[in-house]
Amino acid sequence: MIAIEHLTKRIGGTTIVDDVSMVVEAGTITVVVGTSGAGKSTLLRMVNRLISPTSGRVLIDGTDTMTIAEDTLRHRIGYVIQGNGLFPHWTVARNIATVPRLIGWDASRIDQRVTELLALFQLDPGEFAGKFPHQLSGGQQQRVGVARALAAEPGLLLMDEPFGALDPIIRRRAQDDLLAIQRRFGTTIMLVTHDMEEACHLGDRIAVMHEAKLLQYGTPAELLIRPAEGFVERLVGSSERPFRLLSLAKVRDAVEPGDVPGSPVDPDLNLRDALSRLIWTGAERLPVAPEQGRPGGHVSVAGIIAHGRSSMRLSE
């Protein structure tokens, strides 16, 4: 668990981060969102002490980070930046092995970990371990950057605009890769973005910052249904809010009984994408693929709309 207590950073007469307090629960993803200059990246860098706070403190599992040697602290925290920061003249394998080598892992353990992570990110070790960063696509570089951050098995991963340089298709794939990895390892993640769509897709909780202050901190549904007045309302967007709320629920949450013809919908698909598919195909209903312990059934335009309305009422 990360406890951020009254964290403040001032440079000269300018306040970059202003008295921010929040708790990031272990094993969750917290997304810090806001416009450029809101203080998001500075907040993240104070967690691993790349920037020292003017006042306040950060506790990781109850320990004040100021009592931990800087090198020790940073070796325990994975860190991913936009553009990945891969060393251009090192191979993929050596890039991934950076922190394990620094902290003294033996060669066989390092080799095993590099192979495991490459396979996990669907990068064939025989093909990719000896390549250099310039020989990889943007999406492959991104995966190597995340693999390097996870190499020493950190309990905490900090990510600063990690997907900002990727095109939309590769970006969504990278986001889904991250969710799969987080579910597998249970890593606690703090991720900075300016994109509310990305925040809703990835975050268990979202922290909205504006002009150095933390304006609201809650689940995606809480922010969409009850946004704080002013900046947060504008950020979540009045016209987009219903569709973003639908994106938080899965098809399995709105399955109706009965078989219907058509190509089956994955029960793990979110309701916004399911509604898009229904509209695109001109169908009122589509079958839902069965999953273990659950029958199939179908999903419908009317059922999805009713589910969205019900979610709004239950949360008010």
- The confidence score (pLDDT) of residue 188 equals 94
Residue 244 within any structural domain of the chain: no
pLDDT in tens, 148-157: 988 998 889 9
- The confidence score (pLDDT) of residue 170 equals 80
pLDDT in tens, 86-97: 899 999 999 999
- Helix axis angle for 138-150 and 107-120, nearest 10°, is 140
Phi, psi of 184 (to 5 degrees): -70, -45
Query: Could you tell me if 180 and 72 lie in one domain?
Result: yes
Q: Domain of 297: which CATH number?
A: 3.10.580.10
Query: Could you tell me if 152 and 103 lie in one domain?
Result: yes
- The confidence score (pLDDT) of residue 312 equals 65
Please choose, from the candidates 65, 46, 52, 56, the residue with its C-alpha nearest in 3D space to the C-alpha of residue 19: 56
Which two structure tokens, joined as six digits, stand for 49? Answer: 């002490």
Which two structure tokens, joined as six digits, stand for 309? Answer: 């309305």
Exposure on the CB side of residue 126, measured as CA atoms within 13 A: 0
- Helix axis angle for 301-315 and 271-281, nearest 10°, is 150
Query: Could you tell me if 260 and 219 lie in one domain?
Result: no
Residue 124 within any structural domain of the chain: yes
Give this prediction's pTM.
0.84
Report the number of distinct structural domains present in the chain.
2
Last residue of a domain, one of 216, 238, 260: 238
* Contact indicator for 148, 81 with CB cutoff of 8 Å: no
Query: Could you tell me if 266 and 148 lie in one domain?
Result: no
Query: Could you tell me if 6 and 68 lie in one domain?
Result: yes
Query: Could you tell me if 114 and 171 lie in one domain?
Result: yes
Domain that holds residue 15: 2-238
- Report the helix count and the strand count for the chain, using DSSP H and E: 14, 12
Query: Could you tell me if 175 and 294 lie in one domain?
Result: no
- The confidence score (pLDDT) of residue 238 equals 66
Last residue of a domain, one of 185, 203, 238: 238
- The confidence score (pLDDT) of residue 313 equals 61
Query: Could you tell me if 281 and 164 lie in one domain?
Result: no
- How far apart, in whole angstroms, are the C-alpha atoms of residue 127 and residue 295? 41
- The confidence score (pLDDT) of residue 180 equals 87
Q: State which residues of the chain have pLDDT below 50.
A: 315
Query: Could you tell me if 140 and 11 lie in one domain?
Result: yes
- How far apart, in whole angstroms, are the C-alpha atoms of residue 267 and residue 280? 18
H or E element at residue 60: strand 55-60
- How far apart, in whole angstroms, are the C-alpha atoms of residue 112 and residue 198? 33
